[in-house]
A and B are shown apart, each in its own frame.
Chain A
Amino acid sequence: MSADDTAAPGTDTATASTASGPAGLEGCVPEPGCAKPDPIFTADSVVRSFGGLRAVDVAHLEVQRGTITSLIGPNGAGKSTFFNLVTGFDKPDSGQWTFQGEELTGQSAYRIARRGMVRTFQLTKALTRLTARENLMLGATGQLGERFVPAFLRFPWRAQEHEIGARADDLLERFNLAHMRDEYAGTMSGGQRKLLEMARALMVKPSMIMLDEPMAGVNPALTQSLLEHIRELRDEGMTIVLVEHDMDVVMGISDWVCVFAQGELIAEGAPDDIRRNEQVIEAYLGAHRSLPAAEDTAETDEEKHDEQS
């Protein structure tokens, strides 16, 4: 059942995003909680308190389909907690959120993932005693062989297993992990694990992928490669939500940036709007530093074009 509803989005959104440019956000007013023309995800009054501390208190947040949206903010701003709440890994005190028009409030994590909203973790969760290929194959949804009775027999799921294996091989190739195919994931380096986790999330055929600090602890060269992958996914029509600390990375790659501070959404807008936003500079970096200038991040874009041509 879940295989059907997750299979479609990748294809139908691809046309939409290329027609109206990568973002489709031109008309949006850069202020917290602003409406988007085609939101894939909306959250309303999501609140989570730990004792007396309001860790998350988001009045309204929309994510535009087919964009790279980043959540930034200082440590303890509630970005990761917000991630956990909307993906079902934590329960909010109140609030509701929808994904592709469907209410997801209070659903368990695995159901949310099956709906096509898949997350990764800040501390990578490679399944160490499974091979890289097994890690990926696990990600496929709607596997008949995962049911107890058909699992005994071979014939009901052999064809499906073959197809999933082929898909896993393609993704391993794409993420430069083909040489690790039959190695235990536990033998991989930190960076390879990040790639593996992203590839594994893609096996679920998500329409929105939520990456929790994908660049943390990754060397600069691999960061570039990860960014390439993220851009490619966006260009294929996927919606990407990032939690990221590295400002250079965020400003370079994002179509839209949401800024959290003390659990609240204090600003959102295109990277240029955020750079100029006094409130953000103050809240996030203190008054004495400025956010990276546009020229610094433009370089990475040019590099990308060079490589492509």
Chain B
Amino acid sequence: MDWLAILGNSVRGMLGPEAAIYALAAVGLNVQFGYTGLLNFGQVGFMLVGAYGVAVSVATFGWSLWAGVFIGVLCAVVLALILGIPTLRLRGDYLAIATIGAGEVLRYFYRSSYLEPLTGGVFGLRQFANGFFEANPYPPGRYGIGTVSFDARSLWVMTVGWGLVALACLLVALLIHSPWGRVLRSVREDELAARSLGKNVYGFKIQSLVLGGVLGALAGALLAINVQSVQPDSYNPVVTFYLYTIVILGGASRVLGPVLGAVTFWFLVTFLDSFLRQATSSGLIPSSLIEAGDVGAVRFAFVGLALILLMVFRPAGMIGNAKELRLDVR
């Protein structure tokens, strides 16, 4: 057992590009779910349109990367409007149903053979982010201390990713601590009360859905850029549930909650992954109990267990306001 390697891996996982990408998408989800109370179960759909916006624009049409990101964001706005306009007038549950359905519909739509000339169908698209990596200011090599080190490529994605997360958090903080944010929170508490005070609740919900969706699309675009490929089946509903996990783990309706949640989530996942791998290969855990091939699945079972414990002992999340949660919500 090489504990140092396990710890090194875990720290890499919690700072790496994936954590930044998930944090960004979770910040978007927090605007919708944490502050506005919108049950968007299709955040992955927003990531998907963001990712394919970049991929299709660059790989299929040969446009620039910037145009691709812009188109991805535009697609997210359109998606938010399509989803929101019919459902946001209804009770909260309907948005949940519509969004979870929409995420799946989008995935099947993008992988259909009908769209294959554009999206590459089930195989997806590849090698469309060369422009992004050509702009990498870091010279090739490894950066970091000891086992915690990244190559120049990852470091560049991380710089952009965490930069976007910081920017998104700043934006959310400014918005939430403004009268606009006050209306958003009042919509979460009681829509009818907000309407009785002359607030156009519907308009605010749309704005919230669009803002969260755009952040999701940016995360999706970065996810596609990071691995230089898009594949429809990596955008399945599970991603949305990870994002909910992250938001609740960190503390919903806290500006930095999703960031802390993402970091913790990825630390846990990579820790369990490397620990279980080492433990099974070194024979600490007999292969009759867990085989090396099962590790991928088992680690998420443990993450699930950790979450259950968290919900029991710290239901407001890591930095959530426990006082808020204890309130008698009548």
| A-to-B contact residues, CB < 8 Å | 2, 87-89, 108-111, 113-114, 118-121, 123-130, 134, 137-139, 141, 143-148, 151-152, 154, 157, 161, 184, 186-187, 200-201, 203-204
Q: How far is the CA of A87 from the CA of B199 in the complex (A)?
A: 13
Chain B residues with Cβ below 8 Å from A138 are 182-183, 186, 194, 197, 199
Measured CB to CB, the closest approach of chain A to B138, in angstroms, equals 32
Contact call B196/A145, Cβ cutoff below 8 A: no
By Cβ-Cβ distance, the 9 closest A-B pairs, closest first, are A186-B327, A145-B179, A151-B180, A113-B198, A125-B193, A127-B189, A151-B178, A114-B198, A109-B195
Residues of chain B touching chain A, judged by Cβ–Cβ distance below 8 Å, are: 171, 174-175, 178-183, 185-186, 188-190, 192-201, 207, 323-324, 327-330
* Residues in B neighbouring A108, C-beta threshold 8 A: 195, 200
Q: In the bound complex, how far is the Cα of B193 from the Cα of A134, in angstroms?
A: 13
Which residues on A sit within 8 Å (CB–CB) of B174? 151-152
Asked if A184 contacts B324 (CB within 8 A), the reply is yes
Say yes or no: A204-B327 contact (C-beta < 8 A), given A129-B185, A151-B175, A151-B179: no
Please tell me if the beta carbons of B180 and A146 are within 8 angstroms of each other in the complex: yes
Residue of B nearest to A114 (CB): B198
The answer to whether B180 and A145 touch across the interface, beta carbons within 8 angstroms, is yes
In the complex, what residue of chain A is closest to B324 when comparing beta carbons? A129
* 6 pairs of residues in contact across A and B, judged by CB atoms under 8 Å: A110-B199, A110-B200, A143-B179, A148-B180, A152-B174, A203-B197
The one of B175, B192, B194, B329 that contacts A186, using a Cβ cutoff of 8 Å: B329
Chain A residues positioned under 8 Å from B198 (CB to CB): 2, 110-111, 113-114, 118, 141, 204
Kindly list chain B residues whose C-beta atoms are within 8 Å of the C-beta of A121.
192-193, 196
Q: How far is the CA of A130 from the CA of B197 in the complex (A)?
A: 15
A139, A151, A184, A187: most-surrounded residue (chain B CB, <10 A): A151
Query: Does A127 contact B193, Cβ atoms closer than 8 Å?
Result: yes
Query: With A127-B186, A130-B189, A151-B181 in contact, is A186–B328 under 8 Å at CB?
Result: yes
In the complex, what distance in Å separates the CA atom of A146 from the CA atom of B198? 12
By a CB distance below 8 angstroms, the chain A residues around B171 are 152
Given contact pairs A118-B197, A119-B196, A157 touches B179 in the complex (Cβ within 8 A): yes
- For residue A136, which residue of chain B has the nearest CB? B197
B52 to chain A, nearest CB (A): 27
Of the candidates B175, B199, B207, the one whose C-beta lies within 8 Å of that of A152 is: B175
A139 touches B197 (CB 8 A): yes
Determine whether the beta carbon of A110 is less than 8 Å from that of B195.
yes
Contacts A89-B192, A203-B197 known; list 4 others, CB within 8 Å.
Answer: A121-B196, A146-B199, A186-B329, A204-B198
Q: Which residues of A are found within 8 Å of B329, using beta-carbon distances?
A: 128-129, 186
Query: B330 and A128: CB pair below 8 A?
Result: yes
